[in-house]
A and B are shown apart, each in its own frame.
Chain A
Amino acid sequence: NAGVTQTPKFQVLKTGQSMTLQCAQDMNHNSMYWYRQDPGMGLRLIYYSASEGTTDKGEVPNGYNVSRLNKREFSLRLESAAPSQTSVYFCASRVLNTEAFFGQGTRLTVV
Protein backbone atom coordinates (compact mmCIF):
# COMPACT_ATOMS: atom_id res chain seq x y z
CA ASN A 1 0.00 0.00 0.00
CA ALA A 2 1.85 3.11 -1.26
CA GLY A 3 -0.40 5.79 0.33
CA VAL A 4 0.48 9.18 -1.17
CA THR A 5 3.22 9.24 -3.80
CA GLN A 6 4.88 12.42 -5.01
CA THR A 7 7.18 12.86 -7.97
CA PRO A 8 9.83 14.08 -8.37
CA LYS A 9 11.56 14.02 -4.99
CA PHE A 10 14.07 16.72 -5.92
CA GLN A 11 14.11 19.37 -8.64
CA VAL A 12 16.24 22.37 -9.55
CA LEU A 13 14.72 24.92 -11.88
CA LYS A 14 15.97 28.11 -13.43
CA THR A 15 13.91 31.26 -12.94
CA GLY A 16 11.15 31.36 -15.53
CA GLN A 17 11.04 27.62 -16.21
CA SER A 18 7.85 25.67 -15.73
CA MET A 19 7.24 22.30 -14.16
CA THR A 20 4.49 20.07 -12.80
CA LEU A 21 4.60 18.27 -9.49
CA GLN A 22 2.69 15.02 -9.53
CA CYS A 23 0.74 13.44 -6.69
CA ALA A 24 -1.21 10.20 -6.57
CA GLN A 25 -3.02 8.44 -3.74
CA ASP A 26 -4.33 4.91 -3.62
CA MET A 27 -6.59 5.22 -0.56
CA ASN A 28 -9.74 6.28 -2.43
CA HIS A 29 -9.75 9.62 -0.61
CA ASN A 30 -12.02 12.38 -1.84
CA SER A 31 -9.95 15.37 -0.74
CA MET A 32 -6.42 16.22 -1.83
CA TYR A 33 -4.13 19.09 -0.90
CA TRP A 34 -0.93 20.84 -1.84
CA TYR A 35 1.12 22.51 0.90
CA ARG A 36 4.44 24.25 0.91
CA GLN A 37 6.73 24.21 3.93
CA ASP A 38 9.28 26.92 4.57
CA PRO A 39 11.49 27.49 7.63
CA GLY A 40 9.57 29.44 10.26
CA MET A 41 6.33 29.32 8.25
CA GLY A 42 4.97 25.87 8.90
CA LEU A 43 2.72 24.18 6.35
CA ARG A 44 0.83 26.63 4.18
CA LEU A 45 -2.01 25.52 1.97
CA ILE A 46 -1.58 26.34 -1.72
CA TYR A 47 -4.61 24.68 -3.30
CA TYR A 48 -6.97 21.89 -2.39
CA SER A 49 -9.55 19.73 -4.05
CA ALA A 50 -12.48 18.72 -1.85
CA SER A 51 -13.65 16.18 -4.39
CA GLU A 52 -13.01 15.10 -7.96
CA GLY A 53 -13.84 17.94 -10.30
CA THR A 54 -13.41 20.76 -7.79
CA THR A 55 -10.43 22.87 -6.80
CA ASP A 56 -10.10 25.84 -4.46
CA LYS A 57 -7.43 28.33 -3.50
CA GLY A 58 -5.70 28.07 -0.20
CA GLU A 59 -3.60 30.54 1.70
CA VAL A 60 -0.81 31.07 -0.88
CA PRO A 61 -2.10 30.26 -4.40
CA ASN A 62 -0.31 32.95 -6.42
CA GLY A 63 2.07 31.56 -9.02
CA TYR A 64 0.51 28.07 -8.98
CA ASN A 65 -2.17 26.16 -10.82
CA VAL A 66 -3.63 22.75 -10.06
CA SER A 67 -5.47 19.98 -11.85
CA ARG A 68 -7.52 17.23 -10.27
CA LEU A 69 -7.02 14.75 -13.06
CA ASN A 70 -9.17 12.05 -11.48
CA LYS A 71 -9.91 10.83 -7.97
CA ARG A 72 -6.36 9.51 -7.53
CA GLU A 73 -4.26 12.31 -8.99
CA PHE A 74 -3.76 15.97 -8.14
CA SER A 75 -1.01 17.92 -9.87
CA LEU A 76 0.57 21.28 -9.05
CA ARG A 77 2.01 23.41 -11.84
CA LEU A 78 4.46 26.28 -11.67
CA GLU A 79 4.12 28.21 -14.92
CA SER A 80 7.08 30.54 -14.46
CA ALA A 81 9.19 29.58 -11.47
CA ALA A 82 10.57 32.27 -9.17
CA PRO A 83 13.20 32.00 -6.41
CA SER A 84 10.43 32.71 -3.86
CA GLN A 85 8.95 29.34 -4.82
CA THR A 86 11.99 27.51 -3.48
CA SER A 87 10.43 25.28 -0.86
CA VAL A 88 9.46 21.77 0.13
CA TYR A 89 6.11 20.81 -1.35
CA PHE A 90 3.82 18.24 0.26
CA CYS A 91 0.77 16.58 -1.17
CA ALA A 92 -1.83 15.16 1.19
CA SER A 93 -5.14 13.34 0.97
CA ARG A 94 -7.96 12.56 3.35
CA VAL A 95 -11.55 11.66 3.87
CA LEU A 96 -13.54 14.55 5.32
CA ASN A 97 -13.28 14.90 9.11
CA THR A 98 -10.41 12.47 9.38
CA GLU A 99 -6.67 12.82 9.40
CA ALA A 100 -4.62 13.78 6.36
CA PHE A 101 -1.96 11.47 4.96
CA PHE A 102 1.12 13.09 3.49
CA GLY A 103 3.56 12.21 0.77
CA GLN A 104 7.30 12.37 1.32
CA GLY A 105 7.68 15.79 -0.26
CA THR A 106 9.33 17.41 -3.26
CA ARG A 107 12.34 19.62 -2.59
CA LEU A 108 12.31 22.38 -5.19
CA THR A 109 15.07 24.91 -5.69
CA VAL A 110 14.65 27.80 -8.11
CA VAL A 111 17.89 29.53 -9.06
Chain B
Amino acid sequence: QKEVEQDPGPLSVPEGAIVSLNCTYSNSAFQYFMWYRQYSRKGPELLMYTYSSGNKEDGRFTAQVDKSSKYISLFIRDSQPSDSATYLCAAGETSGSRLTFGEGTQLTVNP
Protein backbone atom coordinates (compact mmCIF):
# COMPACT_ATOMS: atom_id res chain seq x y z
CA GLN B 1 0.00 0.00 0.00
CA LYS B 2 1.29 3.44 -0.88
CA GLU B 3 1.70 5.77 2.08
CA VAL B 4 0.00 8.60 0.18
CA GLU B 5 -2.85 7.84 -2.21
CA GLN B 6 -4.24 10.32 -4.72
CA ASP B 7 -6.84 9.94 -7.44
CA PRO B 8 -4.95 10.62 -10.69
CA GLY B 9 -8.00 11.93 -12.54
CA PRO B 10 -7.97 13.42 -15.07
CA LEU B 11 -10.35 16.07 -13.83
CA SER B 12 -11.97 18.53 -16.23
CA VAL B 13 -14.07 21.48 -15.01
CA PRO B 14 -15.49 24.68 -16.52
CA GLU B 15 -13.94 28.02 -15.70
CA GLY B 16 -15.26 29.42 -12.43
CA ALA B 17 -15.99 26.03 -10.87
CA ILE B 18 -14.90 25.03 -7.39
CA VAL B 19 -12.34 22.25 -7.58
CA SER B 20 -11.76 19.71 -4.83
CA LEU B 21 -8.58 17.62 -4.87
CA ASN B 22 -8.01 14.93 -2.28
CA CYS B 23 -5.42 12.57 -0.85
CA THR B 24 -5.41 9.96 1.86
CA TYR B 25 -2.41 8.76 3.81
CA SER B 26 -1.61 5.82 6.03
CA ASN B 27 1.42 6.91 8.06
CA SER B 28 0.33 8.33 11.43
CA ALA B 29 3.73 9.95 11.86
CA PHE B 30 3.11 12.43 9.06
CA GLN B 31 2.89 15.88 10.60
CA TYR B 32 3.18 18.33 7.75
CA PHE B 33 1.50 18.35 4.39
CA MET B 34 2.01 20.13 1.12
CA TRP B 35 0.37 20.70 -2.20
CA TYR B 36 2.51 21.21 -5.26
CA ARG B 37 1.46 22.41 -8.69
CA GLN B 38 3.28 21.14 -11.75
CA TYR B 39 2.84 22.62 -15.19
CA SER B 40 3.64 20.50 -18.21
CA ARG B 41 7.38 19.95 -18.66
CA LYS B 42 8.22 21.90 -15.51
CA GLY B 43 9.32 21.01 -12.00
CA PRO B 44 6.78 20.96 -9.14
CA GLU B 45 6.27 24.25 -7.31
CA LEU B 46 4.95 24.62 -3.78
CA LEU B 47 1.37 25.84 -3.57
CA MET B 48 0.41 25.29 0.07
CA TYR B 49 2.11 24.09 3.25
CA THR B 50 0.27 23.08 6.40
CA TYR B 51 1.43 21.66 9.69
CA SER B 52 -0.75 19.15 11.58
CA SER B 53 -4.54 19.49 11.29
CA GLY B 54 -6.59 22.46 10.24
CA ASN B 55 -7.22 24.79 7.35
CA LYS B 56 -5.00 27.23 5.53
CA GLU B 57 -6.20 29.75 3.00
CA ASP B 58 -4.22 31.64 0.38
CA GLY B 59 -6.27 33.61 -2.11
CA ARG B 60 -8.40 31.20 -4.11
CA PHE B 61 -6.71 28.17 -2.57
CA THR B 62 -7.63 26.41 0.69
CA ALA B 63 -5.79 23.42 2.11
CA GLN B 64 -7.41 21.20 4.72
CA VAL B 65 -5.88 18.45 6.81
CA ASP B 66 -7.96 16.04 8.88
CA LYS B 67 -5.54 13.88 10.80
CA SER B 68 -8.31 11.85 12.45
CA SER B 69 -9.34 10.48 9.07
CA LYS B 70 -5.92 10.87 7.43
CA TYR B 71 -7.39 13.02 4.70
CA ILE B 72 -5.82 15.95 2.84
CA SER B 73 -7.77 18.31 0.60
CA LEU B 74 -7.10 21.25 -1.67
CA PHE B 75 -9.94 23.50 -2.79
CA ILE B 76 -9.64 25.94 -5.66
CA ARG B 77 -12.33 28.61 -5.89
CA ASP B 78 -13.21 30.44 -9.09
CA SER B 79 -10.95 28.15 -11.09
CA GLN B 80 -9.11 29.66 -14.06
CA PRO B 81 -7.64 28.12 -17.22
CA SER B 82 -4.23 29.02 -15.79
CA ASP B 83 -4.93 26.55 -12.95
CA SER B 84 -4.70 23.70 -15.48
CA ALA B 85 -1.82 21.59 -14.20
CA THR B 86 -1.01 18.46 -12.24
CA TYR B 87 -1.48 18.82 -8.48
CA LEU B 88 0.60 16.67 -6.16
CA CYS B 89 0.05 16.18 -2.46
CA ALA B 90 2.99 15.37 -0.21
CA ALA B 91 3.52 14.48 3.44
CA GLY B 92 6.46 14.27 5.79
CA GLU B 93 7.45 13.34 9.31
CA THR B 94 8.99 15.91 11.63
CA SER B 95 11.78 13.57 12.62
CA GLY B 96 12.54 12.30 9.14
CA SER B 97 13.99 13.66 5.95
CA ARG B 98 11.74 11.94 3.47
CA LEU B 99 8.83 13.54 1.66
CA THR B 100 6.29 11.13 0.24
CA PHE B 101 4.22 12.19 -2.76
CA GLY B 102 0.88 11.14 -4.11
CA GLU B 103 0.48 10.16 -7.73
CA GLY B 104 -0.76 13.59 -8.80
CA THR B 105 -4.13 14.70 -10.19
CA GLN B 106 -4.24 16.20 -13.67
CA LEU B 107 -6.65 19.16 -13.74
CA THR B 108 -7.97 20.95 -16.82
CA VAL B 109 -10.03 24.13 -16.47
CA ASN B 110 -11.93 24.84 -19.67
CA PRO B 111 -12.65 28.45 -20.72
A contact residues vs B (CB 8 Å cutoff): 4, 31, 33, 35, 40-45, 48, 50, 56, 58, 90, 92, 94, 96-105
Contacts and interface: CB of A to CB of B under 8 A. Distances in A.
Given A45-B100, A50-B97, A99-B34, 6 more contacts: A41-B103, A42-B101, A96-B97, A99-B46, A100-B46, A102-B44
Interface of B: 6, 8, 32, 34, 36, 41-46, 49, 88, 90, 92, 94, 97-104
Contact of A104 (B43, B97, B98, B102): B43
Contacts of B6: 42
A45 B98 contact: yes
B88 A100 contact: no
Contacts of A98: 49
A44 to B, nearest CB: 8
Nearest to B94: A97
A105 B43 contact: yes
Residue from the set B8, B43, B44, B100 with the largest chain A CB neighbour count within 10 Å: B43
Contacts of B97: 31, 48, 50, 56, 96
B45 to A, nearest CB: 7
Nearest to B89: A42
